[in-house]
Amino acid sequence: MLSWDELEARCRSCQGCGLADSRRSVVVGAGPRDAEIMLVGEGPGHQEDVQGLPFVGPAGRLLDEMLELIDLSRERDVYITNLVKCRPPQNRDPLNEEQDACIGYLRNQVALIRPKIIVCLGRISAMRLIKPDYKITLEHGQWVEKAGVHMTAIYHPAAVLRDPGRRPEVFQDLMGLRDKIAAVCTRTHL
């Protein structure tokens, strides 16, 4: 396992897949390194690539609102990162080989943070981290435990921006997250 400094340096110089050629930034992640909750999205978009931070575009603003609904803040409570650390061109889904090249960095982040809860943001993250045949429309908000970590997936905020009709389901899932935090977290104040 690499230390945070080693991990960041390794990510910043990574040439592990083709996304290295078109990136402006490597978006490693952001938030407290002792967070009990990790959020894992898909990959950086345009704004994230420009600023070098995860979820800072329109989807990120909605994510902040979603967190606020259950009194979570990204500065204090959650570490946010993505399956792949470099932007896929035209915001396409990250390819399997790109995910394969990058997943070790995420595993290293999980090992360093040792979260109690991991929330997958969207289908792609859930398919990689929960199970390959994950069906987000059917299974969002359900909880599984893997290696002692409580895991769930919710709709990706970008999907909610495209289809605001999904908001009630997201709200339900956030209530479920709040309950899970109350049950398993010790340092996260709701």
Spatial CA neighbour of 120 closest among 15, 37, 188: 37
In the sheet with 117-121, reading across from the earlier edge strand, the strands are: 78-82, 37-41, 117-121, 149-154, 144-146
Smallest distance, ligand URA to C-beta of residue 2, A: 22
Stretch that binds ligand URA, among 12-20, 35-43, 132-140, 146-154 (CB under 6 A): 35-43
Please tell me whether residue 155 binds ligand URA under the rule CB under 6 A. no
CB-wise, 45 or 115, nearer to ligand URA?
A: 45
CB-wise, 30 or 70, nearer to ligand URA?
A: 30
CB-wise, 59 or 106, nearer to ligand URA?
A: 59
- Sole binder of ligand URA in the list 45, 88, 94, 115 (CB under 6 A): 45
CB-wise, 16 or 44, nearer to ligand URA?
A: 44
Smallest distance, ligand URA to C-beta of residue 128, A: 12
Size of the site for ligand URA (CB under 6 A): 11
Tell me how far CA of residue 52 lies from CA of 29, 37, 81, in angstroms.
9, 21, 11
Please tell me whether residue 88 binds ligand URA under the rule CB under 6 A. no
- Given a contact cutoff of 8 angstroms between Cβ atoms, the answer to whether 139 and 61 are in contact is no
DSSP state of 110: H
In angstroms, the CA 86 to CA 132 distance is 22
- Given a contact cutoff of 8 angstroms between Cβ atoms, the answer to whether 127 and 151 are in contact is no
Both tokens of residue 135?
């069906």
Q: Which residues bind ligand URA (CB under 6 A)?
A: 41-45, 48, 54-55, 59, 82, 158
